[in-house]
């Protein structure tokens, strides 16, 4: 049985993925941003371990990685934490855009700091098709804020992380998954896609017990592979993103 860490798993898709895995006998470590959500998590999935930390802050993301490592090696990590509709540009304690800090920098840091697992899953979105891998103003300090573009760009960067890690770490199966537009707290009640299916693919990849899931460097929606924007496979673009994140955090990816 696998042991899986899921970031941003106090509600929504992360918690559903945790329940999917736990129901099949896998060990699960969940993550909550604050103490209140920790209590809710322990009530929702009592058998799971729980780590705590606000992933918008670099120091707190490092602490989350330390907590995960202290529990022992995990077979898989699902990078699920994200923020979506931010009407205004919110600046974190580190002087970064909240959207970039949570959606991109946190999975980069957790990837760099958590003991290397066998499988990595990065949650992304079909909105990446309308994004651009331009790091010149990734923090939106010069442009007029556009929350949808910022989110779309962050999801493109997440897919680039997945593909770049797959290239750098060939022994690790690293993939990106779009859950679709589902009715979570983030997606809203009117979202049209299937919520259960939205949580299934990432859990299936993380479990690692189906030969059909033995793939890497892929982008999936409901277990099916789809094409990605050309920049995702561009080695120079991947390396530029790794370098940028390393400069912001002081932590290089091995």
Of 113, 141, 117, which Cα lies nearest the Cα of 245? 113
| pTM attached to this predicted model | 0.94
Q: Annotated catalytic residue: which of 84, 108, 122, 155?
A: 155
pLDDT at 12: 87
pLDDT at 29: 98
**pLDDT of residue 127 exceeding 70:** yes
Sheet holding 27-32, edge to edge: 49-52, 27-32, 3-6, 76-79, 119-123, 173-178, 219-221, 224-226
- Taking the C-alpha atoms of residue 185 and residue 76, their distance in angstroms, rounded to an integer, is 25
**pLDDT of residue 182 exceeding 60:** no
Per the model's pLDDT, the better-predicted residue between 133 and 219 turns out to be 219
pLDDT per position as a tens digit, 10-61 = 888 999 999 999 999 999 999 999 888 788 888 889 999 999 999 999 999 9
Q: Grade residue 180 by pLDDT with cuts at 50, 70 and 90.
A: low
Contact 120, 79 (CB under 8 A): yes
pLDDT at 191: 46
- Taking the C-alpha atoms of residue 198 and residue 83, their distance in angstroms, rounded to an integer, is 17
Q: Annotated catalytic residue: which of 108, 122, 151, 219?
A: 151
- 33-47, 89-103, 198-212: which has the minimum mean pLDDT? 33-47
**Catalytic residue check, 244:** no
pLDDT at 226: 96
**pLDDT of residue 190 exceeding 60:** no
Question: What are the chain's domains?
Answer: 3-249 (3.40.50.720)
- Which residue's entry shows tokens 């693919």? 201
Contact 124, 219 (CB under 8 A): yes
Per-residue pLDDT averaged across 173-182, rounded? 84
Other CB atoms closer than 10 Å to residue 87's CB: what's the count?
Answer: 7
């Amino acid at each position: 049985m696998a042991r899986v860490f899921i970031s941003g798993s106090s509600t929504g898709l992360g918690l559903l993925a945790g329940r999917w895995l736990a129901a099949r006998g896998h060990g699960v470590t969940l993550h909550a941003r604050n103490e209140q959500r920790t209590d809710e998590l322990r009530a929702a999935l009592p058998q799971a371990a729980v780590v705590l930390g606000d992933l918008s802050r670099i120091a707190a993301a490092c602490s989350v990685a330390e907590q995960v490592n202290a529990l022992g090696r995990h077979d898989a990590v699902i990078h699920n934490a994200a923020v979506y509709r931010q009407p205004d540009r919110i600046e974190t304690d580190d002087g970064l855009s909240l959207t970039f800090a949570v959606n991109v920098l946190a999975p980069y840091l957790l990837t760099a700091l958590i003991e290397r697992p066998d499988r990595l899953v990065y949650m992304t979105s079909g909105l990446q098709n309308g994004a651009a891998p331009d790091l010149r103003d990734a923090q939106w300090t010069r442009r007029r804020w556009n929350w949808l573009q910022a989110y779309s760009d962050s999801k493109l960067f997440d897919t680039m992380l997945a593909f770049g890690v797959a290239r750098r770490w060939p022994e690790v199966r690293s993939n990106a998954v779009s859950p679709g537009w589902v009715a979570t707290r983030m997606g809203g009640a009117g979202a049209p896609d299937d919520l259960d299916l939205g949580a299934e693919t990432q859990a299936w990849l993380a479990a690692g017990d189906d030969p059909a899931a033995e793939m890497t460097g892929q982008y999936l929606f409901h277990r099916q592979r789809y094409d990605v924007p050309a920049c995702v496979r561009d080695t120079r673009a991947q390396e530029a993103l790794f370098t940028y994140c390393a400069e912001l955090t002081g932590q290089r990816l091995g």
